[in-house]
Structure 1
Amino acid sequence: MVRNQTLRIWERSQKRFPAKGLEYVRTIRNGLVLAVGIALTAITASACGGDGKQDTPAAAGPGEQVELTLATFTEFGYEALVEEYQKLHPNIRITHRKTGQGGPYHQDLITKLAAGSGLADVTAVEEGHLSDVLDKGSKFNDLTKIGPASASADRWLPWKYDAAKTKDGKVIGYGTDIGPLAMCYRKDLLAAAGLPSDPEAVKPLFATWDSYFEAGAQYVSKSGGKAWFDSAAQNFNAMVNQLPDGYIGKDDKLAVEGNQGIRDAWAKVTAAVAKGQSAKLTAFSNEWNSGFKQGAFATKVCPAWMLGVIKEHAGPENAGKWAVTAAFPGGGGNWGGSYLTVPTQSKHPKEAAELAAWLTAPEQQIKAFQAKGNFPSQVQALTDPALLSQTDAYFGDAKIGALFAEQAKKVNKPQYKGPGDGQIQENASSPALQAVEQGKPAADGWQQLVDAAKKITR
């Protein structure tokens, strides 16, 4: 704009003052430079609040067209909700970026966070990786300041809401689902092996981890060597999540070697691998996906969100063969659940926060649960008759709403997830257990886990 205005003045000066045009335009140009400098200083001070700190961009005007991006992974149940939101807000267009695996998704998230560009306006973060972004709170908007007043703390279970607070008190995420644990299993495979298959009758098999692995030994023997569970890592992760303390201590230091609970869990799950109970599948791989349809394993650690995964990959031909029971080794626990954040990269943070708040409101959490089995974290949703009466024909008309509400009551405050926790699960314990499944001695696999965890937390 300044360049074009200077050229116009130059052209006029040549016509009106041919002899003195150059001198004239120099004078005008100098005045423009001074004026522009003053204007830019004022603009910078205004945009930065006068103290050098970046303010939140202004909200879009009434009716102004706004393009938003939403990034999620695996199954959030948002496909129909995105369409509904756009109908309610004709000026909003949403591009939904959905990826399959959580590990690569979060690695990409951290890369884009460091680069300062590329993140979606609304970016999902899984609870296991939340610790990796909480110490980067300055790169996320404080939702208590830009979000709607209705998205107050009392909407959520207290521990769910508080987990998204930075050490200086910013709330960087609205809670989506939680993952109360139950057990899913193939009724037909258990029956064929002479084991109980009714959802009530199987509960003693899943009472403790010892009884679970004992039942696994019976199944392998009676089924002719078929696998009892899908993946050592999936069971191990659930076992570790039940412990009072996990991979990282409350002092944010690595605590693997001195954590006896983790050592005991390692010993039990690797012993089961040695007895042929594992299908040796990597979670969310193509082989794992196909395993549901092919009956490659008989039981599956089953947080509420896993129901949607099973239905998708097992397919309609296996409807009624899968069942879920309100029992879990060790009583219960939580595995998974996510948050919707609004990075400061967003050009439309207010509109992004409104979308995130709407997607995580009680009504929408119920719809997401009905679509994909993602269990609500909203207090109001947990007592909603629409949730408690929800059944699922795929799992033999099981009352899955009431079932997981019962399991949710067994969840104590989840263990502290320090920086690097999610990376240890993805990049240390899971590869180490996969190595054991491929023949590495359990002791060597343990050392692999410890060494990898040390590298992650350096």
Structure 2
Amino acid sequence: MSVIRRRNRLVALAAVSALVLGVAACGSDDGDSSGSTGGKPDKLVVETFGEFGYDELVKQYEKDTGIKVELRKTAQLNEYRPKIVRSLATGKGIADVVALEEGILNEFKINPTNWADLTPLVADHSKEYLQWKWELGKAADGRLIGLPTDVGSLAVCYRSDLFKAAGLPTERDAVTALWPDWDAFIETGKKYRAATGKGMLDSVTTAASAVTMQVGGDIFYDKDDNIVADKSAAVKQAWDTSLKMVDANITAKTATWSPEWSAGFKQGTFAATFCPSWMLGIVQDNSGPENKGKWDVAGVPGKSGNWGGSWLAVPERGKHKTEAAKLAEYLTSATSQVAAFKLKGPLPTNLEALKNPEFQSYTNEYFSGAPTGKIFGGSVEGIQPVHLGPKHQAVKEQAMEPALRAYENGEAKAAAAWDQFIKDAATQGAF
């Protein structure tokens, strides 16, 4: 896509976003697919991105309630947000329940009236979840706009067969011991490159996400939502670590979420990726059944971290807000969070689910029997609180990541890449 076409697309999207984020939604959705105009709906639509692990849960909900549930999935987050923005702005194709990733949620807090206040529609669950996660689901006016789903507790997904071919340890505890810190991770990547001629890590941007959230605190904005990307300790550490990785030539230079990245899991283009718990289902789907038992899960450098996490919200324009809220409540319950984790990997935020023996003892057969409940659940307490700001996702995806990829691909020197990032951060982060 040319620069001009890309800018035109962003301008058009910004105009739609302004309508949604700056004007309270009203009226009803003429394009609603719930199949009923009042009372009990025939069908409810749930809009998600990636893999939330709801496939079996909605089947049970259908049996229990007699209400059909349609799951609409969008593979890539950068395609998902524009879809949600347009549906809210136009009222066409709007879902009954919508998953909001942490960056998207913060942006929609600018005008929370696009979303139903769930407080009168569901029971009081405020003491049942990680407290910081529950509070992030609230808007500044106190409106509860999202019920917590998952948290992106971090690990490293790696191909044990490719590690073996490179002469590296393959057992997960030994692999974790390879990289107590980020410098050690880079040294391991250099050994892999020397042995195979390939990059061990998929992309510099996955490393940047991991380091940024591991440091925590203010990321692109301060507490007053002023853009402080050039002063952020988390950004600086992530940037410097990322450049070290590029300079050491340990990445495969596959842009995250690109077709090449998706194919790389199956083709062995890279041997490792920083893997929040929700990524397990994506790794499995991209790698295919033929690679079952080749992937494993090890600890992340620095022992903990967080990448992502979501909430379920109900659009104010929805025709069946009461039933939609009940469905969101069902999908975020302790039992449902454990079931979703077992199916696709999103890590529970419900305290009862995190203590559930079935969760704690769960092992993932696809990932060589890795005790993923223990690995991911054990790092939750180490997650650092972060302040994301209203357009965190836009700054991350449209400013920081393109600048890092430009450096990774040799298209820009370090200083020029940084200057471009800071310039784009100011543009993308404005609201």
TM over 0.5: same fold? Answer: yes
- Mapped partners of 2:112, 2:252: distance in 1: 40
2:33 match: none
1:146 equivalent among 110, 121, 134:
121
* Partner SS for 2:230: coil
Equivalent of 2:65, from 85, 89, 105?
Answer: 89
The residue type equivalent to 1:355 in the other structure is L
Partner of 1:25: none
Q: Name which of 414, 423, 426 aligns with 2:394.
A: 423
Selected match of 1:74 from 50, 53, 57: 50
Task: Report how far residue 65 of structure 1 moved.
Answer: 4.1
Please say if residues 59 and 351 of structure 1, whose CA atoms lie closer than 8 Å, have aligned partners that are also in contact. no
Counterparts of 1:253 and 1:204 in 2: how far apart (Å)? 39
Query: Hey, what's the Cα distance between the residues in 1 that align with 2:386 and 2:366?
Result: 33
Distance 2:98 2:297 in 1: 31
Contact 2:100/2:310, CA 8 A, preserved across alignment: yes
For structure 2, the residue ranges without an aligned partner over 5 or more in a row are 1-24, 30-35
Query: Which of 144, 148, 153 matches 1:180?
Result: 153
1:270 is aligned, of 235, 239, 243, to 243
1:236 alignment counterpart: 208
8 A contact 1:230–1:278 mirrored in 2: yes
- The match for 1:357 is 329
Deviation readout 1:66-113 (Å, 9 max, x if unpaired): 3321100110111121221111111x2222211110112112222333
Secondary structure of the corresponding residue to residue 180 of structure 1 = strand
The alignment of Structure 1 onto Structure 2 pairs a total of residues equal to 398
Post-superposition shift, 1:233? 0.8
The 8 Å contact of residues 227 and 279 in structure 1, kept in 2 or not, is answered as: yes
Corresponding residue number in structure 2 for 1:21: none
TM-score, normalising length: structure 1? 0.83
Alignment pair present for 1:215 and 2:188: yes
CA offsets 1:178-225 (integer angstroms, 9 cap, x no match): 1111111111222222222211112222211111112111211122x2
Q: Is the 8 A contact 2:26 2:316 kept in 1?
A: no
Q: What's the counterpart of residue 447 of structure 1? A: 419
Q: What secondary structure sits across from 2:167 in the alignment?
A: coil
Q: Which amino acid aligns with 2:221?
A: I
The reply on whether 1:301 has 2:277 as its aligned counterpart is: no
CA contact (8 A) 2:107 2:391 kept: yes
Offset, 1:118: 3.7
Match of 1:247 in 2: 220
Q: State the superposition RMSD in angstroms.
A: 2.0
Q: Larger Cα Rg: Structure 1 or Structure 2?
A: 1
The one-letter code matched in structure 2 to 1:328 is V
Whether 1:437 and 2:413 are equivalent positions in the alignment is no
Q: CA–CA distance in 2 between the matches of 1:355 and 1:404?
A: 26
Of the structure 1 ranges 97-106 and 214-223, higher mean CA displacement relative to structure 2 is found in 214-223
Q: Is 2:307 aligned against 1:331?
A: no
User: What's the TM-score once normalised by structure 2's chain length?
Assistant: 0.88
CA contact (8 A) 1:60 1:66 kept: no
Identity of aligned residues (%): 39
